[in-house]
Structures are given as C-alpha cells and as structure tokens.
C-alpha cells in the first residue's frame, strides 16, 4: 500500500499505547478469556475434546490386551499425538470463523497486536490441552497400566508442546482455507503424512531412506520420539531435551508464520 503521508508535526491527540510487536498482557489474556468463554457456550465440543482421547486410549488398551508392551509404545505416542490433532482442528476452525465473520477485520482495525491475538489463542487452547492431556495421561498411567519408566510430568510437558504445535499449525493453515470444508481437509493433508512417518506404525530407521529423511524434518517425529524417551528412561536424556526443543521451536516458528498471515489490510 502506498498511502502517501502529508507530513504533520503536532499530533492532535496524545498517542495511544502503541500496538507494536510487543505483547500486551491484558489484551492477550482478554483474548484468551474470550476464546474460552466462547467454548463454554459449546459444552459438547468441550466434552468431545476431553473425553475422546480417554476413550481412544481405553479402546487401545483392550485392543492390545494380549501385548501390553505394544500398548506402552503406541499409547505413549498417542498421548503426544491426540493434543496435536485436536488442537489443530479446533484452532483452524476457530480462526477461520474469526476471519469469515469479520471479527478479525474488526479486531485488526482496533489497537490489538497480531501477537496478542495469536498468544491469546495459544494460551486458551494451551490451557485446554493441559486439561485434556492431564486426564488422558492420568487415565493411561493409573488405570490402564501404561508402563512409563520416566516421569509422567515429562509426558505432560511433551503433550503440552504438541498441543501448542497443533494450535500453531491450525492458525497457519486457516489462512489458506476459504471455508470450513477446506479447513477440515487440511487435517489429512498436514497431519496424516506426519502420522504415517512419525514412527508410530514402523520404526523410522526401518523406512525407505527417502521417507526417513522426510520424517527427520517433520515435527511430529520428535514429539513421538520424546514420548518414547520418557517411556524408556528414568531421567531426562539428551535426546529428550533435543526433541522437546525441536517441537517447541517448530511451534514458535509456525506461530510466527501464522502471525504473518494476519493482515491488517486485505484486498
């Protein structure tokens, strides 16, 4: 845009707090509270979000009734994958609705920083992910006898980072979806390849070298890897730290990319 400015020296009004790139805590928490308030009017979504992962773990436990070792490995991986998928779906639809309802345009015409909006969403859905992951982890560890060598807190940490990654990916792809139909189709497009290549179905080092190379650059591989580290080791290994850092880094990177797709001026 090339709106020329006529130079003026004296502003007529005191300048409002600049909505720069720095986060404004009040606006961020107000946004997070608003997102959660919206969800509260939709109890069915909350119930689905929280119960489905538990139900799936329960199912899985008895699918692998005869081989508890397999349940340990797959169950731990799924504890990391569920929050990623659900948060991806919820965020991509929620932000798409924000874009199509005109509320995004309205917010960006107000003194709301893009970072405030994104951080608000991340905070709200991150909070929800904590509840979801805590319940699923507790169920798996205490009632379904998921045999974890390391600390369940570390499982929860990875699950939370996965949820943030899902939120970030959802925010990002919603910019490329023109409708809810398209947004939902991004789920198989973005999540399924990662699901196939993350080591859940076959160990990554047994894949075709080309696929192994691809899986090396997909963040979900590290999410699952981190879960397995906790499963097999009593304390934090170097690999675990690397995995956590990679997942967190990816989440941040995609959040920044998501912020870049928010435009104050649209065609």
Partner 1 sequence: MMNFNPGSRPPGTDPGGSGGHAAPSEAAADAVRAHGLTVVRGPRTVLRTLDFTVPRGQITGLLGPSGCGKSTLMRAVVGTQAKVTGTLDVLGRPAGHPALRTRIGYVTQAPSVYDDLTIRQNLDYFAAILDPGRAAADRRHENVTRAIADVDLTHHADALAGNLSGGQRNRVSLAVALLGTPELLVLDEPTVGLDPVLRRDLWNLFHEIATGRGATLLISSHVMDEAERCHRLLLMREGQILADATPDALRTRTGADTVESAFLHLVDAATQTARAKESTR
Using CB under 8 A as the criterion, which residues of the chain lie in contact with partner 1 when the complex forms? Answer: 1-6, 8, 11-13, 15-16, 18-20, 24, 26-27, 30-31, 33-34, 37-38, 41-42, 101-103, 105-112, 263-267
CB of 21 to partner 1, least distance (A): 11
Q: Which residues contact 215 (CB under 8 A, 6 or more apart)?
A: 197, 198, 199, 204, 207, 221
For partner 1, give the closer residue by CB, 106 or 151: 106
Asked if 120 and 82 count as a contact pair (C-beta separation under 8 A), the reply is no
Rounded Cα gap, residues 93 and 182, in angstroms: 10
Q: Which residues contact 204 (CB under 8 A, 6 or more apart)?
A: 197, 198, 212, 215, 216, 221
For partner 1, give the closer residue by CB, 11 or 209: 11
State the number of CA atoms in the 13 A half-sphere of 196 facing the CB: 9
Helix, coil or strand: residue 117 = helix
CB of 172 to partner 1, least distance (A): 20
For partner 1, give the closer residue by CB, 30 or 60: 30
CB of 71 to partner 1, least distance (A): 38
For partner 1, give the closer residue by CB, 19 or 127: 19
CB of 32 to partner 1, least distance (A): 11
């Amino acid at each position: 845009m090339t709106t020329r400015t006529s130079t003026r020296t004296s502003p007529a009004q005191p300048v409002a707090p600049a909505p720069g790139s720095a986060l404004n805590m009040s606006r961020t928490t107000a946004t997070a509270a608003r997102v959660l308030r919206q969800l509260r009017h939709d109890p069915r979504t909350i119930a689905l979000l929280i119960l489905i992962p538990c139900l799936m773990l329960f199912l899985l436990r008895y699918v692998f009734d005869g081989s508890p070792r397999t349940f340990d490995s797959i169950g731990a991986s799924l504890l990391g994958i569920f929050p990623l998928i659900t948060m991806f779906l919820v965020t991509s639809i929620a932000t798409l609705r924000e874009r199509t309802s005109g509320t995004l345009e309205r917010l960006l015409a107000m003194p709301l920083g893009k970072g405030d909006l994104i951080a608000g969403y991340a905070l709200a859905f991150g909070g929800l992910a904590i509840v979801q992951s805590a319940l699923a982890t507790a169920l798996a560890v205490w009632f379904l006898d998921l045999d974890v060598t390391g600390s369940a807190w570390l499982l929860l940490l990875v699950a939370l980072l996965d949820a943030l990654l899902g939120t970030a990916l959802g925010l990002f792809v919603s910019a490329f979806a023109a409708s809810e139909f398209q947004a939902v189709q991004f789920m198989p497009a973005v999540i399924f390849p990662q699901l196939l290549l993350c080591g859940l179905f076959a160990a990554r080092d047994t894949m075709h070298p080309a696929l192994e190379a691809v899986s090396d650059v997909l963040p979900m591989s590290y999410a699952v890897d981190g879960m397995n580290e906790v499963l097999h080791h009593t304390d934090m290994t170097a690999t675990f730290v690397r995995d956590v850092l990679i997942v967190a880094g990816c989440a941040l990177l995609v959040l920044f990319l998501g912020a870049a797709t928010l435009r104050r001026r649209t065609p």
